[in-house]
Structure 1
């Protein structure tokens, strides 16, 4: 079973932050997963929700902030002692690339970039991320995914060589898409593996994700559901996206940072 860090080590650290991604890269993960959106001045930032309310001290839609305004928002991070306070910021995609690229080149870490363009249709996002990845020389380490089927199709049309994954809640919906359009992986909800005898129907990787009700995000300290990996393999799942890669993997003795 291949293990991906969902928004980084997002149970131990604030999701989609440099701290979460750096923590994840200390383990022998297959890759990290992150989400991109565009600011008002069309800069690519790494954040999941269309609004900043849940993860920062601000309020409002991501697309209504300039990059400078977003950078003024605070995200609380873990501290070493009581009474201490520390904060980080929403990162740009380029800041994440700068951090993670050494781990890609040395350890083969992959980056799953989810285009968050289902509720807000960020026009031109596909061109922007393809160009940025090319400029950083990371083409061989990227998987693109989206819940927006049009966006997944568009990425393949613009560059047939890119790797894509179709996101949907039931696996059957992912499989239906793959039967009609070129795609390189299926990304269903881990609770909705609703296709029997899956491997007789497809050889594509199946990378399953969970919800916050079963895998909370920092600073929520609620119980985490640990998967029975053998059962998932029997069902045809090849990879999981998890907030707690540290629960499945031992920390690496040697990392790209050493």
Structure 2
């Protein structure tokens, strides 16, 4: 009964949108999250050449569009002209790289909470990225509860702590380091985001006992992390959130299914 109670409350984030059903980091993938009734999406943000925050993961457009080149070397107009959907399937031909503003407007429309990962590649101006993200959020009037900043760059999170202190911050690590609590305390962090492959029960309970939210990326097979909920993990960031929904429904006792 205890395991079923844990599963009932499990929370899922759609990684780059529902990237198993639609091209990653596109409005189509974020719409899929809304259609599934999810509460959270995770996105990646970096700057175009003309300093517009755009939603794309890689340093280049090569993998997920019909173009070639570095994101930072292309204007937002050039980026928007690329096809970011056809690589995934014919049904998504013409899907474009969204701006952060477009994505946040969609999130507002569907009441989605957005985990904004601040991407940092060598040579990037972290302060400028953070300032431009703040500008977009301020212009749109995004509620502080609707956004969580995350990054592998502690520097980026430190900047956000200074310029948008009321927005939650989550430190990304592949493997949680021994000095994690000192870093998290300095950041006044809200959450820890780690690669599920490197998480063990002792570390999970250590982070949770210190009072932080604990999120895992990117477990795409729910059964592999079934025990993680018992360790105190709060959220799974997955490409296949629909599989967690199916598992949760299948494992609920009848009174939960009917509720």
Residue-by-residue CA offset, 1:214-235 (whole Å, 9 max, x unaligned): 75xxxxxxxxx33445401122
Q: Does 1:4 align with 2:13?
A: yes
Instruction: Pick the aligned partner of 1:24 from 33, 53, 69.
Output: 33
SS at match of 2:213: coil
Cα deviations by residue, 1:79-128 (Å, 9 ceiling, x for unpaired):
46xxxx72211111111122221112xxxx21010110243423411111
Residue 188 of structure 1 aligns to a residue in which SS? Answer: strand
Match of 1:237 among 214, 217, 233: 233
The DSSP-based 3-state class of the residue aligned with 1:207 is strand
Higher percent of residues as helix: 2
Deviation, structure 1 residue 192: 1.4
Shift of 1:78: 3.4
Alignment of 1:105-116 (within 5 A): 109-116=112-119
Q: Given the alignment, which residue of 115, 124, 130 partners 1:121?
A: 124
Match for residue 201 of structure 1?
209
The secondary structure found in structure 1 opposite 2:196 is coil
Deviations 1:127-159 (A, max 9, x none): 111221122222220000111101111111223
The question of 1:102 aligning with 2:109 is answered yes
The yes-or-no answer on 1:72 pairing with 2:81 is: yes
Q: Which runs of 5+ in 2 are unaligned?
A: 1-9, 247-259
Q: Is the Cα contact below 8 Å between 1:198 and 1:236 reproduced in 2?
A: no
**Do 1:199 and 1:236's aligned partners in 2 also have CA atoms closer than 8 Å?**
no
Q: Structure 1 regions of 5+ residues with no counterpart? A: 216-224, 251-258
Residue 107 of structure 2 contacts residue 113 of structure 2 at CA under 8 Å; is this kept in 1? no
SS of residue in 2 equivalent to 1:25: helix
- Distance of 2:195 and 2:225 partners within structure 1: 15
SS of match in other structure, 2:245: coil
Distance, in Å, in 1 between the alignment partners of 2:207 and 2:74 is: 45
Q: Is the 8 A contact 2:208 2:232 kept in 1?
A: no
| Partner of residue 145 from structure 2, selected from 130, 140, 144 | 140
SS in 2 for 1:21: helix
Counterpart in the other structure of 2:7: none
Check the 8 A contact 2:161/2:187 in 1, yes or no.
no
Report if aligned partners of 2:208, 2:214 keep a CA contact under 8 Å in 1. no
- Which position in structure 1 is the counterpart of 2:156? 151
Question: Could you report, residue by residue, the CA deviation over 1:40-74 in whole angstroms, capped at 9, with x for unpaired residues?
Answer: 11111100001111111111110000111112211
Q: Distance in 1 between matches of 2:207 and 2:115?
A: 23
TM-score by length of 1: 0.82
Write the distance in 1 (CA, Å) between the matches of 2:12 and 2:59. 26
TM-score of the superposed pair, with normalisation by structure 2: 0.82
